């Protein structure tokens, strides 16, 4: 039986941490749906189109990976694409509480949907999209956080220190 899973997230923007989880999931399962949560309420810094474009340029070449958007419940999106599990990376104990709550909620909403946690690679346990945005906004080096193919677009959009702008 073909195993399809979904890697859901905001990906605002995608980081090496996400790329690592998606790549490992693509080796473990037959098909991986990367579900980009459109989530206008959370006011992402990057538009849905930009977030998808970053993913296309970083994981789009993996043969069994498909990038989709979703705006409702993950439980419904998983059903739509025939995913039997959501794959999430766990960085630290601090991630666990929220992730466990989400996993149990999703199971209640869709009995067929399990959650598989992959231990974050030790190189990326500190990394998050928020850290990338924070550091880039202050003109810091984000080359260890995101691949070269998307680096400049992210950095130039966020860097507020150029042209003598105040970072207050
Ligand atoms: O990258 P993130 O922001 O940690 O991803 C969170 C995400 C998008 C996976 C989560 O917020 C989600 O699944 N949202 C969809 C709405 C939903 O299904 N909510 C109920 C389960 S908590």
Return the ligand 1 atom nearest residue 106 CA. 21
pLDDT at 60 exceeding the cut of 90: yes
Which residues does a 6 A CB cutoff place in the pocket of ligand 1?
8-10, 37, 73-75, 102, 105-106
Active-site hit among 26, 31, 129, 133:
129
What tens digit of pLDDT does each residue of 22-31 get? 999 999 999 9
pLDDT at 166 exceeding the cut of 70: no
DSSP structure string for the chain: ---EEEEEE--TT--HHHHHHHHHHHHHSSEEEEEEE--STT--SS-HHHHHHHHHHHHTTSTTEEEEEE-S-HHHHHHHTT-SEEEEEE-SHHHHHHHHHHHHHHHHH-TT-EEEEEEPPGGGTT--HHHHHHHHHTT---TTTS-HHHHHHHHHHH--SGGG----
Distance in Å, CA 165 to ligand 1 centroid: 34
pLDDT band at 50 (very low <50, low <70, confident <90, very high): very high
**Average pLDDT of 93-121?**
97
pLDDT at 40 exceeding the cut of 90: no
Return the ligand 1 atom nearest residue 102 CA. 22
Query: The whole model's pTM is what?
Result: 0.95
């Amino acid at each position: 039986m073909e195993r399809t899973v979904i890697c859901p997230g905001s990906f605002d923007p995608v980081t090496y941490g996400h790329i690592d989880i998606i790549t490992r999931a693509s080796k473990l399962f037959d098909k991986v749906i990367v579900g980009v949560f459109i989530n206008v309420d959370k006011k992402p810094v990057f538009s849905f189109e930009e977030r998808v474009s970053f993913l296309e340029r970083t994981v789009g070449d993996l043969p069994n990976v498909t990038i989709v958007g979703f705006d409702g419940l993950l439980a419904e999106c998983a059903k739509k694409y025939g995913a039997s599990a959501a794959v999430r990376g766990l960085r630290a104990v601090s991630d666990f509480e929220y992730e466990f709550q989400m996993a149990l909620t999703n199971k209640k909403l869709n009995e067929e949907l399990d959650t598989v946690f992959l231990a974050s690679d030790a190189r990326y346990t500190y990394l998050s999209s928020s850290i990338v945005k924070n550091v880039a906004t202050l003109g810091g080096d984000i080359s260890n956080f995101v691949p070269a193919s998307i680096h400049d677009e992210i950095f130039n959009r966020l860097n507020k220190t150029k042209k003598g702008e105040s970072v207050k």
